[in-house]
Amino acid sequence: MLLAPIFQLLLWLSSWAWVSTASAVYEDAARGFFERHASSAGGSGSTHTNNWAVLVCSSRYWFNYRHMANALGMYRTVKRLGIPDSNIILMLADDASCNSRNKFPGSVYANPARQPDLYGDNIEVDYRGYEVTVENFIRVLTGRMDPSVPRSKRLLSDERSNVFVYMTGHGGNEFLKFQDNEEISAFDIADAFEQMYQKRRYNELLFMIDTCQANTMYSKLYSPHILAAGSSNLGESSYSHVNDNDIGVAVIDAFTHYVLEFMEKINKTSQVSMQELFNSFDATKLHSTPGVRSDLFKRPLDKARITDFFGGVAQVEIISLDSATISPEATSPTNDTEPLQLRPNVMPLAAKAQNMSDTVTTQTWLAQLNGKEWKTVRAWVSLAIIGALASWVASRK
Amino acid sequence: MPSTSSSSSPSTPSPDLPATLHDPKSPFYQQVSLRRAIIASYWTIILLAVPLWWYTTSIERLALPSGRVQQLAQHSLELPVSICVEGPRIPFIDKIQVQLSKQISQDPQRWKGIAPRLFGSTDCEKSSGNKVYSVKFTSTTGTSIHHRQLHFPPNTAPSTIVEVLSSLLVPYSSSRDSKHRIVQYAPHYRLAFSLLNEDAAAGDVVKDWNIQAELRNYINPITRRLGALHNFTVESQVQFHAPLAFPPRPLDHSWGITPADLTVFVNSAEWTLSSSSSNDPVLHFILFIPSAERRPLVILTDTEGTVSPSSAFLVPQWGGIVIHNPTSISSSGTLPDHDVSTVFAAFATQFQSLLGVAALPRGVHAPEGLSAWQLDALTRRRTLENAQGSQDTLASIVKLVDQIENMPVGADVRDDVEDALAALQDMRDAAPVSLAQAFARSATALGLASRAFFNPGMLALLYFPAEHTYAVYTPLFASALIPLVVAALREFMAWKRERREAALMKAAP
């Protein structure tokens, strides 16, 4: 008797929930369409003046040798293509090269031919071992650092920086494990990128991830000017590429291997576009479906060069020395600048009064609820219903 | 028999103990009131603990003055510029005024934030002091600048005057390249001067340069003049092996660098260009001495091999490079002073354009070097930039705190935001009075706003969705809470039944 109305209520709640999420999807699609077309009028050239790279290997232990090799391979490539070490943040457990099981101490190789040595002679690991944590990674991205953190551990990018973020490790649906200890979710990465966007810490950002179900990791991104690529779809594993019988473990993952192989054909002045890189992805070779997300990126992919993200500077200006005709000591100091006088910090009363008045709102609480809050309300309502049902059953005796 | 006490025998009740202790059918803990008290005390403790639990698990999120931040974004800063035209002819001044208004309406973006005011006077210095820009017609040798005075030859056309005035007051066009080149504002820069020998092993090596004297001659005057805007630290080094990452193209009697190679000239992988001792931005100035085997090394302007007359170039927002092919090096390996002077003249030009000092308009001379007009234009630009930057940062803090629910906002963040707002208000108050003060306030506001944004405590907690919350808390709390809820319900119903029975008994005795 009592069950029937409750069942109806549940039915109504669930159908309404479905409608509200579906309409949100359409709204997003429409917004995406308009944003894309509003910005397509702009030029196609990149407007950055400096490049940064954040390379993260989130695994540790000897059997994850290949993840170390992935990150080091990327490190070698971005360095070769012109990003200075000061602009590369490398996060690496770094327990492969000097592992007692490593038959080639001090070296990390990404192929059985053992050429080249990725560990090389000039490598700067910025976050090592147990420093590779979710917190540190997010601090690097958002710039929320303790003042004592040295320059080499900071991402000091600005609104003219193109940032390349590469991650590799073991992951799953919308998460990536950090050293078998904690995990970062796709939401955390999306929020971190949004904070970077709000503080103008990048001009354009390339997010590349090689892990199982990698494409889920970029599904939650929502900040503009981000291009994302992943190695495998939801439900798919990302496979290693090749074993080295002397080292005894897999030495590189397939996705990274083919990206790096493509990069070997690129030099600092190449004009090859990102589109060509993405076209080179071959699902049959990778044994997984690589994904690309470009709806947030405002430039056509065939105009975006690989060196926009992997390389150094894009342009220089030749200065004619004729204009450099300032004679020495001509610029003598003159006293026509006003002296700096500091006044006490007095906030005018008017500003304070306005501060008080702006708390008055005319909207009803219902209208203020956005999608996220609705979800919470819904969850609590359903919990209350279940609780009521349980207690009703319990008290019948 | 270990015990003979009377209490061990239930058949003989002792007079000093309550009956309930002895009667197994109704033990004392089966008393209704006691049972209810126990259940009630459980619930009391739970209810009392809820606020504590709430307090200890909630994130500190202090309210930010979001209303004031939004209000600030609506008002844009206006920096007044007063120009006094010396001369009694009113119609002439009106003509300039009309031309100027036309200029402003044609490119409002360029004049954004600047409010020029034109007036005529017979003696500008006397009527308004030296903070006002004055235009005079007393020059005999072309247009020249003296402090904040601009001297034109007599009978200059109004259009020319307006042209010169606008390129002096707002020299920054809204085009992309100049925005590109100028470094972002920082209160402190490090200047790293490097003398790089491509390959000292090939011989003819430059071991030393007279940098102290040239710094004094070329760089210090600029840093002194810009001292109100930035602080500078200078460091220098000499390197003897700085290979290029590409082979230069061999020409007939020289070696050339193509435009494409020029963009990758800086071999950051192998050159160590600056120490990373502080977080301040670094401006690099490189004097590159090609290897003795590859001299002269020249810059090509196209792929056909046209040689550029210049040997200096600039990497936007990064620094300047001069390639120098020495003709004579003394036996001690010191570069001749004359060569170093030329190089430092180029460095000075590069330095100025990186910092955003605008070049003087064509045909205008400034005998004193970096003129007050240029410095003021730069100060205005930086003030507007900083004001905009701090407003944007404050707005984004407010937006992010709204958007990301588990982002903590501590007292230090709130105080920094409040202080930044106060500094911005001070800047507005100071703007009509003193440009230098307005700039100082804007820099303070930017510093505070950035510090608030980058506060290490503002790191949001990791994503922990509602489903996870239920998954964690349900096994823990459901098993404890359900018996309590059921017990409370049963007691409540028993109590109601008792009351009903008591009422029935009363009604029918």
Q: What is the 3-state secondary structure (H, E, C) of A114-152?
A: CCCCCCCCCCCCCEEHHHCCHHHHHHHHHCCCCCCCCHH
Q: Between chain A and chain B, how many beta carbons pairs sit less than 8 Å apart?
A: 248
Q: Is B87 in the same domain as B128? A: yes
Active site residue A241: no
Q: Are B235 and A284 in contact (CB under 8 A)?
A: no
- d(C-alpha B101, C-alpha A263), whole Å: 55
Which residues of chain B does A389 touch, with a Cβ-Cβ cutoff of 8 Å?
Answer: none
A371 pLDDT band, cuts 50/70/90, is low
Closest-CA distance, B452 to chain A, in angstroms, reads 10
Using one digit for the tens of pLDDT, what is the confidence trace for A209-237? 999 999 999 999 999 999 999 999 998 98
- Among chain B residues, the shortest Cα distance to A193 is held by B400
8 Å CB contact of B263 and A314: yes
Beta strand pairing status for B143-146 and B364-365?
parallel
- d(C-alpha B507, C-alpha B509), whole Å: 6
Q: Is B319 in the same domain as B227? A: yes
The domain made up of A50-313 has a fold known as: Rossmann fold (3.40.50)
Q: Is B199 in the same domain as B296? A: yes
Q: Are B218 and B285 in contact (CB under 8 A)?
A: no
- Whether residue B131 lies within 8 A of chain A, CB to CB, comes out as yes
8 Å CB contact of A142 and B68: no
Closest-CA distance, B179 to chain A, in angstroms, reads 10
Angle, CA A244 vertex, CA A243 and CA A245 arms, to 5°: 110
Q: Are B79 and B116 in contact (CB under 8 A)?
A: no
- d(C-alpha A96, C-alpha A119), whole Å: 10
Q: Is B222 in the same domain as B289? A: yes
Q: Which of B245, B404, B463 sits opposite A268 (nearest CB)?
A: B245
Using one digit for the tens of pLDDT, what is the confidence trace for B477-495? 888 889 999 999 999 999 9
Q: Are B266 and A313 in contact (CB under 8 A)?
A: yes
Task: Give residue B338's pLDDT.
Answer: 87
Closest-CA distance, A284 to chain B, in angstroms, reads 35
- Whether residue B148 lies within 8 A of chain A, CB to CB, comes out as yes
Q: Tokens for B17?
A: 């103990």
**Count: domains in chain B:** 3
- Among chain B residues, the shortest Cα distance to A45 is held by B176
* Residues of B (436-455) whose Cβ lies below 8 Å from A: 436-437, 440, 453-455
- Among chain B residues, the shortest Cα distance to A397 is held by B490
Q: Is B172 in the same domain as B233? A: no
Using one digit for the tens of pLDDT, what is the confidence trace for A58-71? 999 999 999 999 99
- Angstrom CA distances, A142 to A50, A221, B258, stand at 18, 15, 38
* Residues of B (388-417) whose Cβ lies below 8 Å from A: 392-393, 396, 399-400, 403-405
Task: Give residue B174's pLDDT.
Answer: 56
Which pTM was predicted? 0.78
Q: Is B302 in the same domain as B281? A: yes
Closest-CA distance, B7 to chain A, in angstroms, reads 39
How many CB atoms neighbour CB B44 within 10 A? 11
* Residue ranges in chain B whose pLDDT is less than 70: 1-29, 88, 125-130, 173-179, 276, 509
Which residues of chain B does A336 touch, with a Cβ-Cβ cutoff of 8 Å?
Answer: 130, 147-148, 372
Which residues of chain B does A326 touch, with a Cβ-Cβ cutoff of 8 Å?
Answer: 218, 345, 348-349, 369
- Among chain B residues, the shortest Cα distance to A271 is held by B260
Task: Give residue A372's pLDDT.
Answer: 63
Task: Give residue A311's pLDDT.
Answer: 82
Task: Give residue A45's pLDDT.
Answer: 66
Task: Give residue A258's pLDDT.
Answer: 93
Beta strands in B28-105 (DSSP E): 79-86
- Whether residue B69 lies within 8 A of chain A, CB to CB, comes out as no
Q: Are A54 and A165 in contact (CB under 8 A)?
A: yes
Which residues of chain A does B426 touch, with a Cβ-Cβ cutoff of 8 Å?
Answer: 343, 345
Q: Is B245 in the same domain as B129? A: no
- The full set of domain ranges for chain A reads 3-40+341-396, 50-313
Task: Give residue A40's pLDDT.
Answer: 34
Which residues of chain B does A373 touch, with a Cβ-Cβ cutoff of 8 Å?
Answer: none
Residue B418 counted as domain residue:
no
Q: Which amino acid is at B62?
A: L
Active site residue A287: no
Peptide bond into A116 cis (omega under 30): yes
- Among chain A residues, the shortest Cα distance to B462 is held by A188
Total residues belonging to chain B: 509
Q: Which of A85, A316, A333 sits opposite B262 (nearest CB)?
A: A316
Q: Are B357 and B374 in contact (CB under 8 A)?
A: yes
Closest-CA distance, B189 to chain A, in angstroms, reads 14
Comparing CA positions, the residue from B363, B345, B318 lying closest to residue A158 is B318
A359 pLDDT higher than 50: no
Q: Is B485 in the same domain as B344? A: no
Which of B340, B355, B370 is a domain's end point?
B355
Residue B8 counted as domain residue:
no
How many CB atoms neighbour CB B193 within 10 A? 23
Q: Are B338 and B326 in contact (CB under 8 A)?
A: no
A331 pLDDT higher than 50: no
Angle, CA B361 vertex, CA B358 and CA B367 arms, to 5°: 85
Q: Is B191 in the same domain as B281? A: yes
Which residues of chain B does A321 touch, with a Cβ-Cβ cutoff of 8 Å?
Answer: 309-312, 342, 345-346
What is the domain extent for residue B41?
33-57+466-506
Task: Give residue A202's pLDDT.
Answer: 93
Q: Which of B176, B277, B348 sits opposite A326 (nearest CB)?
A: B348
Top residue of B261, B268, B470 to mutate, by most chain A CBs within 10 Å, is B268
Kindly state the DSSP code that residue B154 receives in the 8-state scheme.
T
Task: Give residue A177's pLDDT.
Answer: 93
8 Å CB contact of A395 and B490: yes
Residue B427 counted as domain residue:
no
Residue B278 counted as domain residue:
yes
Task: Give residue B269's pLDDT.
Answer: 75
Top residue of A331, A341, A393 to mutate, by most chain B CBs within 10 Å, is A331
- d(C-alpha B227, C-alpha B62), whole Å: 38
8 Å CB contact of A320 and B310: yes
- Whether residue B337 lies within 8 A of chain A, CB to CB, comes out as no
Q: Is B148 in the same domain as B221? A: no
Question: Taking all residues of chain A, what is their mean pLDDT, rounded to a whole number?
Answer: 78
Top residue of B177, B263, B441 to mutate, by most chain A CBs within 10 Å, is B263
Closest-CA distance, A100 to chain B, in angstroms, reads 30
Dihedral of the alpha carbons of B339, B343, B345, B348, in degrees to the nearest 10: -160
- Angstrom CA distances, A176 to A210, B44, B398, stand at 10, 43, 29
- Among chain A residues, the shortest Cα distance to B347 is held by A324
How many CB atoms neighbour CB B161 within 10 A? 22
Q: Any idea which residue has 């810059």 for tokens?
A: B299
Residue B444 counted as domain residue:
no
Comparing CA positions, the residue from B96, B278, B300, B290 lying closest to residue B190 is B278
Given A212, A225, A241, A257, the catalytic residue: A212
- d(C-alpha A236, C-alpha A272), whole Å: 29
Q: Are A56 and A167 in contact (CB under 8 A)?
A: yes
Burial B291-307 (b: 16+ CB within 10 A, else e): bbebbbbbbbbeeeeee
Which residues of chain A does B70 touch, with a Cβ-Cβ cutoff of 8 Å?
Answer: 358
Dihedral of the alpha carbons of B56, B58, B60, B64, in degrees to the nearest 10: -150
Task: Give residue A21's pLDDT.
Answer: 46
Q: Any idea which residue has 């510090």 for tokens?
A: B451
Q: Is B239 in the same domain as B162? A: no
- d(C-alpha B48, C-alpha B484), whole Å: 16
Q: Are B347 and A328 in contact (CB under 8 A)?
A: no
Q: Any idea which residue has 């506001």 for tokens?
A: B445
Which of B136, B153, B177 is a domain's end point?
B177
* Residues of B (274-333) whose Cβ lies below 8 Å from A: 276-279, 281, 299, 301, 308-318, 320
Closest-CA distance, A316 to chain B, in angstroms, reads 5
Which of B302, B335, B355 is a domain's end point?
B355
Task: Give residue B43's pLDDT.
Answer: 93
Closest-CA distance, B433 to chain A, in angstroms, reads 10
DSSP element (H, E) containing A184: strand A182-185
8 Å CB contact of B315 and A316: yes
Task: Give residue A71's pLDDT.
Answer: 94
8 Å CB contact of B434 and A319: no
Given A48, A67, A170, A257, the catalytic residue: A170
A335 pLDDT band, cuts 50/70/90, is very low
Q: Is B160 in the same domain as B118? A: yes
Q: Are A231 and A211 in contact (CB under 8 A)?
A: yes
8 Å CB contact of B486 and A394: yes
Q: Which of B66, B278, B309 sits opposite A320 (nearest CB)?
A: B309
Which residues of chain A does B350 touch, with a Cβ-Cβ cutoff of 8 Å?
Answer: 319
